[in-house]
Chain A
Amino acid sequence: MRKVKILIGTLILLLSFTGIAFVSEKNKGESVKLEEPQEVIYYESEQFGGPEIVYVKPVRGVLFSHKKHVGELGFPCESCHNSLFEMQALKSQENPDFKMEALYQGKYCGACHNGQAAFASNTKCATCHIGVKGLKEYMRKLASKEKK
């Protein structure tokens, strides 16, 4: 009788230990690192001629929208390519001068966003700067599209 009791006792102990091990394993899995925000090239629709581009350099979350510029405003490709921007998306963020100062001097977006052709680049910041929050939304959009 005593032996049976000891056996049952050991079994219970063993079971609870594996249980604890299982729980701690589970906790480990939950504390994964937050996803690192990355640049996005997202094709809303082929008819806009180009994708929605979200830059991450020199700051995260700056949107250039082909949907807005080509789809809604109707600019032809030649307005920007290849004089202001190369065809390859995100190429300009590798340039060391891809900063607000360059825009104020009429380079990149600043060619039009000078307060005359379009709103000046030193105003309405959050129109193009969609931020880390906006960037993450595009990352999610892209991920769900890729799944499909």
Chain B
Amino acid sequence: MFKGIKDWLLNLKNEGVEKVPDETKREFLKIGLIITGVFAGGSLFSVISRVAEGLASSEELHKSYPYKPHYSMVFKIDRCIDCELCMEACRKTNHVPDYGWRTMILRRYDESALDQKTMFMPILCNHCNNPPCVRACPTKATYKDKKTGIVRMAYDKCIGCKTCMVACPYNVRYFNEEKHAVDKCDFCWESRLSKGITITACAEACPAGVRIFGDLSDPGSEVYKLVHQLAKPVWVLKPETGAKPNVFYTIS
């Protein structure tokens, strides 16, 4: 009997997604699915997950990351306690003034939440694979490093027009008065990585193991293992912008 159903299913003809009302498509998108087919007069849908859309490592990239090392950070977000030791370490290491920040902790508070009512969320530059800030900069002062994929600043080229600050969907840039240029996280490239240290100041300072930093192109690295698994959710911020972040979020 089941064999009959299987044959019947396999022989159904895809009637085309064009006939599906936009509203239905949207409902499916909201729960993370894209409709790929319609069968049996609209009573059956075939769907695929849209998770890959948001990842820098969409499936075809899994085998070949464009950079070497392909620097990435993964946050185990539920472990963050807003001790801000990361921010302190960043300020000291990268000489970030009081009025600016390269990394920061956001807080979400929901009085009506069951049980735990607060959640902290660290943010920094996502070192996007498709960075809107780089596209927007008129002088190429901000650029994607061809080797490491780090989105960096050439401070002497920056004219302070702040176009990149507007273009960045993640609001992670600030204007540095002393440098007379826009400044932002460079994964500690200038202060540490270029000098042979393998971990950012914030990741080293975090007492809770929130910030995991490493090379996404190395299957032995912790970031690789955290991103390439399905047991726990992994997500990026604002995937709809198409910026393709290299900073991922997960839970411990």
Interface residues of A (CB under 8 A from B): 31, 33-34, 58-62, 124-127, 129-134
Contact = CB atoms under 8 A, between A and B. Distances in A.
What are the 8 tightest A-B residue pairs by CB atom distance, in nearest-first order?
A: A131-B82, A129-B81, A59-B83, A132-B84, A126-B118, A124-B116, A127-B116, A133-B107
A125 B121 CA distance: 13
A133 to B, nearest CB: 5
B53 interface: no
A127 B118 contact: yes
B82 to A, nearest CB: 2
B107 A60 contact: no
Determine the interface band of chain B, counting residues with CB < 8 A from chain A: 10 to 19
Given A59-B85, A60-B83, A131-B82, A126 B120 contact: yes
Contacts of A58: 207
Given A59-B207, A124-B115, A124-B116, A129 B98 contact: no
Interface of B: 78-85, 98, 105, 107, 115-120, 207-208
Contacts of A126: 78, 80-82, 116, 118-120
Contacts of B83: 59-61, 129, 131-132
B84 A34 contact: no
B82 A132 contact: yes
Which of A61, A124, A127, A132 lies at the interface centre, i.e. has the most chain B CB atoms within 10 A of its CB?
A132
A61 B120 CA distance: 13
A148 to B, nearest CB: 25
